[in-house]
Amino acid sequence: MAPATISTSKTGETMFDSTDVVNLDSLIRMKDPTDCIKYNKVSYSELGGSSISLFVNASADNIEEWVNGIFHNSRYAIFSIQSDKGVYKLELISNGLNMPKFRKCKIKNLDDISDKVVAYFAGL
């Protein structure tokens, strides 16, 4: 399977679109052979028409194990993927108690994102 690339605008700048949400969600599920991610949700945000971001919410716990059914009471991580001067970066913007650290990094395609998210949870 060829790497899923991020689409390119008419001006040549890379950008996301709504189909990337489905593609990234399925890549994360496919690349998690040990089933260390019990819950994941990918969302798409377009603020002001020029700022396009993807967000990955993932948890190492099943929904039934979340205290009071609240995502933030689990072993969770929220990643943001956004453009910084034409270069896309993956950043951990929120995580649960006792979760490992994550350094912001450059990404080239959706495969890079899924690999890094799965590797983050595989390290638990």
84 found inside a domain = yes
103 found inside a domain = yes
53 found inside a domain = yes
6 found inside a domain = no
The span from the CA of 15 to the CA of 7, in Å, is 6
Domain count, the chain: 1
pLDDT at 32 over 80: yes
pTM of the model: 0.87
Beta bridge mates, 43: 55
Kindly report the average pLDDT of the chain as a whole number.
87
In 3D space, the residue among 120, 113, 44, 119 whose CA is nearest the CA of residue 77 turns out to be: 120
- Stretch 77-99: mean pLDDT, rounded? 92
pLDDT at 14 over 70: no
89 found inside a domain = yes
pLDDT at residue 19, rounded to an integer: 85
Rounded to the nearest 10 degrees, what angle do helices 110-122 and 19-30 cross at?
A: 40
Helices and strands of the chain, counted as H and E runs: 2, 5
pLDDT at 1 over 50: no
pLDDT at residue 12, rounded to an integer: 45
113 found inside a domain = yes
pLDDT at 122 over 80: yes
pLDDT at 24 over 50: yes
Sheet holding 76-84, edge to edge: 39-47, 51-59, 76-84, 87-95, 105-106
